[in-house]
Amino acid sequence: MLLCIGCSGRTETTTSEPQRPVGSEEPSAADPFEGIGHVGNQVRGIDAIPDYDEEARALHTRVEPLLPDPLPSPRAACVTMLDAARQFYVDTEGESSSSVAALVATHDTDLEACVEQTGSAAAACVAVLMAQREGEFPWVLDQCSRAFPT
């Protein structure tokens, strides 16, 4: 950098566009993530934060009529939940996908964790939503756990 007291600040090497670090790519005009993660770029502020409690109430209201009555035991609900998750990935990614392999490899551990940490209603909710293909297993499990806390 050249320091020049009294200079106009413009030289032949000065450009009007900001310089990008070497190796960075120019964001495309259709890039939906452009600007995300930049400090000070939170135009909507707190209003942009989802109301997770309201979303959980809405999900509860929508899914509760679809749950089995009476609810199955925690173990039975968890088995059904894990089977539904596996079937979702078989249907969407194929039997030999890494997602199916991961679910098979962690089935026993996941089953025990589910029985201990997830209520029957939440596990049944996951099974319902996975059958309807409403999202990836971790996200659906999170949403159902919020909607039907133990």
What are the distances in angstroms from CA 143 to CA 77, 86, 116, 122?
A: 16, 18, 18, 9
Range name among 10-19, 62-71, 136-145 with the lowest pLDDT average: 10-19
Closest CA to 118 of 61, 63, 79, 62: 79
Q: For 51, phi and psi rounded to 5 degrees? A: -90, 90
- Predicted local distance difference test score (pLDDT) of residue 14: 47
Q: For 28, phi and psi rounded to 5 degrees? A: -80, 160
User: What pLDDT band is residue 49 in, cutting at 50, 70 and 90?
Assistant: confident
User: What pLDDT band is residue 41 in, cutting at 50, 70 and 90?
Assistant: low
pLDDT tens column, 84-111:
999 999 999 999 999 999 999 999 999 9
- Predicted local distance difference test score (pLDDT) of residue 12: 47
**Once rounded to an integer, what is the mean pLDDT over residues 60-80?**
97
Q: What is the pTM of this model?
A: 0.68
- Predicted local distance difference test score (pLDDT) of residue 113: 97
Q: What is the mean pLDDT of the chain?
A: 82
Range name among 34-43, 82-91, 116-125, 136-145 with the lowest pLDDT average: 34-43
Instruction: Burial-class residue 90 by CB neighbours within 10 Å (0-12, 13-18, 19+).
Output: middle
User: What pLDDT band is residue 48 in, cutting at 50, 70 and 90?
Assistant: confident
pLDDT of residue 17 exceeding 70, the answer is no
